[in-house]
Amino acid sequence: MTHNGFRLALGTLTVLRVPPPTVVDRAVAGRAMLLAPVAALVPAVAAAVVVLAGWWAGTPPLVTGALSVGALALASRGLHLDGLADTADGLASGYDRERALAVMRSGDVGPAGASTLLVVVLTQAAAVAALAAGWQGALVVVAAVVASRGVLGDWCVKGVPSSRGQGLGAAVAGTVAVPRAVAATAVSASVLGAVVALTGLPWWSGPLAVLLGLGAVGVLLRRCVRRLGGVTGDVLGACVEVALTTSLVVLATAT
């Protein structure tokens, strides 16, 4: 059944065309969320290739950072950035829960969504620019992207509700056992710590990036549960972008 979860993760979270899962149920959805960091190697490598190409070509770091973030978005179908914009519009609206959810489903990007996208993409690009120095920078970017997808398993744990009875959020909410989420977080923190130590950054900056990213996502989720009644697919996408941005800023600061 693990292969079904991996297919679901790859097909949902990346541009790769893979055979569809033979079974899609809540157990498979939970495995897909736990396997999201593995699937994230696809967009992570795309971003890293741009970092290496920019370093080899002598491209200005900020340009390399922007192109790397663009490659990351394209390789993940823009899914998480779209969720970030929709979540920002929903939370910023002055409507009740149902109308706020309708705003998020509409697909239109409002002022709050556009502003949030601008800030997040610029911050990510600047952080990657600070890290983009040869293979070391590329490796850190890969590790940060992979670790950021770990929040999908962390916040699809039992006890975190879905805001509505259908959609991606309903399919994955509450599908991950807490012990598995904790173990996955420990692995992410350890791997990121080892990677940053290998590249010359302080080893503690890796676990710190994971923990602060998890905390920032926790604040967002608390707001979403209160305002929207739980998580949606858009909210989970926003969680990924918040975790990635936080991690990149922490790692860039540690350089």
What does the angle CA 186 – CA 187 – CA 189 come to, to the nearest 5 degrees?
Answer: 65
Going from N- to C-terminal start, the domains of the chain cover 44-253
| pLDDT at site 63 | 96
Q: Which residue has the tokens 């997808």?
A: 149
Of 150, 179, 157, 176, give the one whose Cα is nearest residue 230: 157
Q: Answer with the residue of higher pLDDT: 247 or 255.
A: 247
Give the pLDDT mean for 197-204: 90
pLDDT category at 71 given cuts 50, 70, 90 is: very high
User: Which pLDDT value is given to residue 58?
Assistant: 92
State pTM to two decimals.
Answer: 0.93
Q: In this structure, what is the dihedral angle of CA atoms 67, 73, 74, 77, given to the nearest 10 degrees?
A: -170
Find all residues with CB under 8 Å of 147, minimum gap 6, and list them: 37, 188, 189, 191, 192, 206, 209, 210, 213, 243, 247
Mean pLDDT, range 5-9, rounded to an integer: 89
pLDDT number for residue 1: 53
What is the distance between the alpha carbons of residues 104 and 112, in angstroms, rounded to a whole number?
12
pLDDT at residue 171 greater than cutoff 70? yes
Q: Which residues contact 219 (CB under 8 A, 6 or more apart)?
A: none
